Structure 1
């Protein structure tokens, strides 16, 4: 169904949302240079670094440059998701495996009452946010539409070149979008249509996976846009 040129079917709504976010992101990322791409606005940022300079315990990537990644954990803003997983019938052991934490940690989260304390999360660079998104979309494509065998952490060769990173990223994003556009209604409702191993994809209907992927894209691109604004005004912010 269409209304004034806009689709109102389930897949159409998600595609239109993604297309609008992608178009805005392309405009906001135009002219990104290497210095801005790697800019660390505060100390102890997460970014991409040469393998020998990695400062985080689980930094990953197949080449010379790796993406910072810290110790596994369940952030406070995900406590509700853990509760949802348990309510949907996932065992505590499966939830622990999903988040790469201990069973005891999952039990602590499920037993928590009240408002969780805010997480002390690292500030991340534009390079990190783009690398994280690139890795996420590459892995989801491989484990949904690809061979479903390659390690998602080895699919993206991170680079200190903003132009190269964006060229590769947009090509991958376009491939994801084209593949999603061909999904049938039956596949949208299929639990486990995506077998992406780092998350709950195998336990979710694919329409929920798509909604989550859109949210991931939108919120990280909003963060990138803010970092670009801060970079542009970095010498005038306190005048």
Structure 2
């Protein structure tokens, strides 16, 4: 019996990893209701909200619903990345611009010794996590394979409908995956092949960008899966099935 051939080239490995993660995520998101999609498990969650009702200072979106976004900061988990950027020759001013923070904040992080202080991050809804991924991958596609002129924060029309949000999200992911599948080996090594303006894409080879995109997809989908488990446990504990 002929066995399925597994790609061992660099792009093939990343694509197979993404395909596996996407397949599992799509199964885990089956049956998502609007109530669960918007469920806020604790007070002060970030979510999607009607324009004018957002609880964060930089909520964004082109339509009636916007995605919560707080003030710029560098999470403690990214301190090592800031150090790598500096070690790679990126100036403090460029790093500050990359993270949308002050030069003083970057210098503080670079001078920090010992383990980072524990960070306090908001709990987010499934709607927020999915919207965050959608906005990120839409921007990545536009600024890599598209016209590279549309503002990423205006590319996704956020919606309170779980069914519609998933339909739009998977369509976008299919387009992104198809485009990535055409990337050549030379393009993988090209610094700035992606010009996505939020982050360090213009300063990285595209294979590093793809590695980061896989990580982003996997870790946010894991968080969504946990929220689904907590939602189900919440009702099971009450005997509601």
| 1:86 partnered with 2:86 | yes
Partner of residue 47, structure 1: 47
Structure 1 stretches of 4+ moved >3 Å: 235-239
Match of 2:173 in 1: 173
Q: Give the corresponding residue for 2:146.
A: 146
In 1, the alpha carbon distance for the partners of 2:186 and 2:235 equals 54
After TM superposition, the structure 1 = structure 2 runs for residues 1-239 of structure 1, keeping only pairs within 5 Å, are 4-237=4-237
TM-superposed deviation, 1:98: 0.3
Q: Tell me by how many angstroms 1:237 deviates.
A: 4.3
Normalized against structure 2, the TM-score is what?
0.97
Gaps spanning 5+ residues in structure 1: where? Answer: none
Structure 2 Cα separation of the partners of residues 59 and 42 of structure 1: 19
What secondary structure sits across from 2:49 in the alignment?
strand
1:70 and 1:182 mapped to 2: Cα distance?
Answer: 36
Number of aligned positions between the proteins: 237
* CA offsets 1:37-88 (integer angstroms, 9 cap, x no match): 0000000000000011011000000011000000000110000000000000
The offset of 1:6, in angstroms, is 0.8
SS at match of 1:134: helix
How far apart are residue 117 of structure 1 and its match? 1.2
| Gap regions ≥5 residues in structure 2 | none
Query: CA offset at residue 4 of structure 1?
Result: 4.8
**Which TM-score applies when normalising by structure 1?**
0.97
